[in-house]
Amino acid sequence: MILRALDRYVLGSWVRIFVLTSLGFPVVSIMINLTDNLNKLLDRGLTMQQIAVSYVYSIPENMFIVMPAAVLFATVFTVGGMGRYSELTAAKASGQSFHRLMLPVFVAAAFATALAFMVGEMAPGATAKEQELQKSRAARPTRSRFNFVYRGDQGWVYTIRSLDVTNRQLKQIMFERQGDGAEYPAMVITADSASWDTTRQTWRVRQGSSRLIAGSASRSAGDWVNALRRMVRNAKVACLPGPAISRLDP
């Protein structure tokens, strides 16, 4: 679409009102929230710089909330202003249809919709960071995890009681694989712990046992070390780098 002078005028008017609304309303909301909660934040030991930075992270959420209204305001005030000063009448008198005149507004609204989705994707992470900076919730631990389940390749499901990323250790782990009969039986492997062997670049699983389940019958694996090596050679454990578990200690 080639932008004529009239298209640039309509688009410029729309963008100015949209930007002013999208940024102005979040700023007003932040000022109201800051006025209500300033004493609480200062009681938590936050400095003014920390408070200011934390409220910067609240802008994406406030922008995402106000963007639909910003599109509405920009459209209404753009068209209303042109009608007030008889610009719509002048455009129609020159042979310009109303729909063609509003085409830049439709295109800008489509871009605003895509922008709203992008801001919406940023909002949860930014809000979580804001809450951490304001000490309204504890920071999520990044060096350890507890009681989580991870689904890997080839139907394997890993249940892990605790993960220590610093020491690269797992505690109370269970591996489960869904089977489809005697030819490919289900398998359940449990172990007390596992640690990363930096020399061999493999996982060492200790004090474990396994069970093969084929239909209604089940049997204990005679050599669970060889079975584990064979069945989980390509397995991957969540959150820890490295290849599959390949070294096992009874």
Calpha distance 109→17 (Å, rounded)? 12
**How many of the other CB atoms lie within 10 Å of CB of 108?**
19
- CA dist 41 → 124, 131, 219 (Å): 21, 11, 61
Contact 182, 215 (CB under 8 A): yes
Calpha distance 9→103 (Å, rounded)? 12
Among the listed residues 85, 117, 84, 82, the one whose alpha carbon sits nearest the alpha carbon of residue 102: 82
Mean pLDDT of 17-30: 92
Q: What tokens appear for 147 in the block?
A: 């009681």
pLDDT at 180: 76
- For residues 173-190, one letter each, b for 16 or more C-beta atoms within 10 angstroms of the residue's C-beta and e for the rest, the string is bebbbebeeeeebbbbbb
Cβ burial of 162 (10 Å; 0-12, 13-18, 19+) is middle
Provide, rounded to the nearest whole percent, the portion of the chain with pLDDT above 90: 24
Average pLDDT, the chain: 79
Tens of pLDDT along 120-147? 998 988 888 888 888 776 555 567 778 8
39 compared with 182, residue with greater pLDDT: 39
Residues 6 or more apart whose CB falls under 8 angstroms from that of 143 comprise 164, 165, 166
71 compared with 152, residue with greater pLDDT: 71
pLDDT at 250: 43
Mean pLDDT of 196-203: 81
pLDDT at 144: 74
CA atoms within 13 A on the CB side of 84: 6
Q: How confident is the model at residue 101 (pLDDT cuts 50, 70, 90)?
A: confident
Among 50-64, 81-95, 132-146, the least confident range: 132-146
Cβ burial of 97 (10 Å; 0-12, 13-18, 19+) is exposed
Among 54-63, 103-112, 191-200, the least confident range: 191-200
Calpha distance 148→170 (Å, rounded)? 11
Among 8-22, 76-90, 216-230, the least confident range: 216-230
Beta bridge partners of 189: 175, 210
- Rg of the chain over Cα atoms, rounded to whole angstroms, equals 30
pLDDT at 108 over 90: yes
Cβ burial of 248 (10 Å; 0-12, 13-18, 19+) is buried
Q: How confident is the model at residue 3 (pLDDT cuts 50, 70, 90)?
A: low
What's the CA angle centered on 242, arms 239 and 244, to 5 degrees?
100
Place of tokens 């699983």: 205
